[in-house]
Amino acid sequence: MKEMRLHYPLSLMRRIMNVSASGYYAWIDRPPSKWSLQEARLELEIKAMDKLTRHTYGAERLQRELVKQGVQVGICRI
């Protein structure tokens, strides 16, 4: 909704998604969760490792390399 509000009226999107105005604004003002911050950091580390390996490693090899570097990540998150 946050990105689409420039293209569609907020009232229409809220009605379609059955979201109250107060709920929407509470969500907008909420700070990022611990999980979403970890996810963003992990995404950067995965992309850096993928670039370093010239896009030749699959998910399992990427996961093993990241664990060797001390990044705790399961195969499902890659």
**Residue 53, Cβ neighbours under 10 Å: how many?**
13
Same domain, yes or no: 58 and 25: no
Same domain, yes or no: 43 and 68: yes
Residue 75's pLDDT band (cuts 50, 70, 90):
very high
Say what the pLDDT of residue 1 is: 87
Say what the pLDDT of residue 2 is: 85
- Decide: 1 and 19 in contact? Cβ < 8 Å: yes
Same domain, yes or no: 50 and 65: yes
Same domain, yes or no: 18 and 52: no
**1-42 confidence digits (pLDDT tens):** 888 989 999 999 999 999 999 999 999 999 999 999 999 999
Same domain, yes or no: 40 and 57: yes
What domain range is 18 assigned to?
A: 1-30
Same domain, yes or no: 38 and 26: no
- Decide: 75 and 60 in contact? Cβ < 8 Å: yes
Question: What's the farthest any 2 CA atoms get from each other in the chain?
Answer: 49
